[in-house]
Amino acid sequence: MKRVGMSGALMLVLRRDLTLAVRRMSDVLTTLFFFVIVVSLFPLGVGPEMDTLREIAPGVIWVAALLASMLALERLFSGDYRDGSLEQLLLIPQPLSLLVLGKVLAHWLVSGAPLVLMAPLLGMLLGLSWDSLEVLLVTLLLGTPVMSLVGAVGAALTLGVRGRGVLLALLVLPLYIPVLIFGAGAVEASVSGLGAGAHVSLLGALLVLALCFAPLATAAALKISME
């Protein structure tokens, strides 16, 4: 049997998780509908005044994206844990951190990418300008992968724990705060006519750090949870 290299193992994990996600499309749609509903409720609660909506839009969209991302975190490893696939991943000769990166990438493609695509439409609903919508799109493209990578560490640590949803939120939410601050801050700076470059650069730095360290931390957490 031909041995699969690291890139091949990464693609196999990615393809497998995407195939399973397509079969469970209801889970993907639940996250997206939650995001849309949360953002859509604010004009009803705050009022139809466009100036007010434009002012709160960055924070509203980013908080909704954060909560929607957390909603999908519990499914990241739970299915593999229940059917025994996770134990098989631990036995594969390729680095576990690489396989974790493939699973996180698949998770982002089915839960984070739809949020990124839907966000500009919701931003238009809240009165954001085209320039602000572009900044919103860029910040979500940088920020949502960070939330998936960091959330994977919390999902691995709480794997198999009773009442893991609350514990996962307590672990992950404080780590999401910098992403929320820089992401919403970039859009707010664009709305105010200020430069958003500094916030975007910081988000990019967070993404690089998360890509370097989160898969390693997640792999270590999975080994601890499976012992």
Per-residue pLDDT of 165-223, as tens digits, reads 778 888 888 899 999 999 988 888 888 777 778 889 999 999 999 999 999 998 888 88
CB 4 within 8 A of CB 94: yes
Neighbours of 150 (CB within 10 A): 26
Q: What is the pLDDT at residue 157?
A: 85
Instruction: Round to whole Å and give the CA distance between 113 and 106.
Output: 10
Q: What is the pTM (predicted TM-score) of this model?
A: 0.86
* φ/ψ (deg, to 5) at 74: -60, -25
User: Tokens 């990166």 — which residue?
Assistant: 101
Angle between helices 164-191 and 50-73 (to 10 degrees): 150
Q: What is the pLDDT at residue 3?
A: 55
Q: What is the pLDDT at residue 5?
A: 66
CB 218 within 8 A of CB 153: yes
* φ/ψ (deg, to 5) at 102: -65, -40
Coil, helix or strand for 176?
helix
Instruction: Round to whole Å and give the CA distance between 186 and 189.
Output: 5
- Alpha helix stretches (DSSP H) within the chain: 6-23, 25-46, 50-73, 75-83, 85-91, 96-107, 113-125, 130-157, 164-191, 197-226
Instruction: Round to whole Å and give the CA distance between 97 and 89.
Output: 10
Q: What is the pLDDT at residue 78?
A: 75
Residues in the chain with pLDDT < 70? 1-5, 163, 227
Q: What is the pLDDT at residue 28?
A: 77
